[in-house]
Amino acid sequence: MSLLIYLTIVLLVFIWLYRRRKNFSLSSESLHKQWLFRLAIFFPLASSLYFMIWLGYPYPFRFDANGYNTFLEINKFSLGILALSPILGAFVVYAHRSFQSEIQIKTSEMQLYEAQKKNKVDMYYSKRKFIQEQLDNIDKGFKYGLKNTNEIYNLAFIIGDDYFDYINTKFFYYINTRIGLILANLDKIIEANNCVLKSKCLEENFKSMIVDSINNIATSSAHIKIVLFSEPEYTNKFNDICSEFTIAYSYYEFTNQDEFDTSTFAKSNLLIIRKIYIELGLLQKLIHRITLCLISNNDIKKYMVNLIELEKNISNYLYSDSLGSSEQ
C-alpha cells in the first residue's frame, strides 16, 4: 500500500514537473538557484523520509545498540535512496558546469567574431582612407588635379557587403581600351610620316589622316580624364598641336613642294610627334600613378597591358639614343 501511494505521488510529481519543465531547465544562473539541483537533492531526501516513516512505523525507536541495528536493518532501502541525493546533485553540478562552459565558449566565439568584424571594418575604412589620401596627393608634380577621389574609388571597385571590395575590371579595361586607341592612332601618325621621309612625297589624304589621328588621340585622352575625374590646370595641348600641324601643312602647300621641301616638312613633323609623346607621357604618368593607388603592379600588368605598352613607346621615342641622333 505504501509503495502504491509512493508511486502515485511520484507520478503526480513527474506530471507537475513536465508541465513546468521550463523552470527546471538549466540556466547560466548560480547553482543554488537551479530548480533541477534543488529537485535532485530534495526528491531522494523526501523519498527516503517517506519510506523510513512507513517502514519504521511498526517498530518503536530505541536509543541503544539494538535499536540502531534494527534501524539500519529496516531502512537499508530508505538509506539507499538517501544516498542518491549527493549522486544526483553531482550529476546536476556536472551538467551545469558543462552548460556554463558551452555558454562561455559561445560567448568567446561571439566576442571573437565581433572583434574580427570590428578589425575587418577598421581595416576596410583605413584602406579606403589611405587610398583616398594617396589620390588627393596625385596633383603634386602633375599638371592635373582630381575632382572627386571618392567617386574614382567607387568606379574602380565593386563595393561588397562583407567589407571587402572587388576590383571592377570593366573600369580598368575601359581605360586600357582607350589607351589602345591612342597607341593605334599614334602608330598611324608615325607610319605616315616615316613613309614621307622615305618616299619624299605626300599622299593625298596625309593631312586628314594626321589631323584625324591627333583628334582621336585627343578624344581618347579626354575620355580617360573624364573617367578619372581629372581636372587639367591648362588647356588641352592636343588642340594646339593639331593647329600647329595644320599651319605647317598650309605653309608647305604654298611652297614649291619639291623633294627637299617635302623632306623638310616631314622632319618638322617629328617635333610635332615629339610634343604628342610629351603630352601622352604626362597622361601616362597620371594614369599609372592613379592605378598604383588603387591596385597592385601585378593587377596593372593584368588589366592595363596597353598602359605598359604606352610607357615603353614613350620611353623608346623620347629617350632612345638612336632616335635622338636621327632627329638631329
Q: Evaluate the CA torsion angle 124, 126, 129, 133 in order and state its sign.
A: negative
Say yes or no to pLDDT of 143 above 70: no
- Across residues 107-121, what is the average pLDDT? 86
- Residue indicated by cell numbers 616631314: 266
How many CB atoms lie under 10 A from the CB of residue 199? 13
Say yes or no to pLDDT of 213 above 80: yes
Q: What's the confidence (pLDDT) of residue 314?
A: 92
Q: What's the confidence (pLDDT) of residue 258?
A: 59
Enter the C-alpha cell of residue 236: 588641352
How many CB atoms lie under 10 A from the CB of residue 138? 19
Q: What's the confidence (pLDDT) of residue 83?
A: 76
- Across residues 256-261, what is the average pLDDT? 59
Q: Grade residue 257 by pLDDT with cuts at 50, 70 and 90.
A: low
Q: What's the confidence (pLDDT) of residue 327?
A: 47
CA gap 194, 200 in Å, rounded: 9
Q: What's the confidence (pLDDT) of residue 32?
A: 63
- Across residues 96-122, what is the average pLDDT? 83
Mean pLDDT, the chain, whole residue set: 80
Q: What's the confidence (pLDDT) of residue 125?
A: 86
Please give the residue that has the higher pLDDT: either 8 or 151: 151
Q: What's the confidence (pLDDT) of residue 220?
A: 93
- Across residues 164-179, what is the average pLDDT? 93
Q: What's the confidence (pLDDT) of residue 325?
A: 43
Full 3-state SS string of 107-128: HHHHHHHHHHHHHHHHHHHHHH
pLDDT in tens, 4-61: 776 677 777 777 666 666 766 666 667 666 767 777 777 778 777 777 777 666 666 6
CA gap 13, 23 in Å, rounded: 14
Q: What's the confidence (pLDDT) of residue 20?
A: 66
CA gap 41, 56 in Å, rounded: 22
Q: What's the confidence (pLDDT) of residue 8?
A: 73
Say yes or no to pLDDT of 127 above 70: yes
Using CB atoms within 10 A of its CB, is residue 191 exposed (0-12), middle (13-18) or buried (19+)? exposed
Say yes or no to pLDDT of 144 above 70: no
pLDDT in tens, 69-103: 777 777 777 777 777 777 777 777 777 778 778 78
pLDDT in tens, 285-326: 989 999 999 999 999 999 999 999 999 999 988 876 444 444
- Across residues 143-150, what is the average pLDDT? 76
DSSP 119-177: HHHHHHHHHHHHHHHHHHTTTTTSSEEES-HHHHHHHHEE--TTS-PEE-HHHHHHHHH
Say yes or no to pLDDT of 147 above 90: no
Over its C-alpha atoms, the chain yields an Rg (Å, rounded) of 46
Kindly report the backbone phi and psi dihedral angles of residue 166, in degrees, each rounded to the nearest multiple of 5, phi listed first: -100, 145
Out of 101-115, 136-150, 178-192, 269-283, least confident range: 136-150
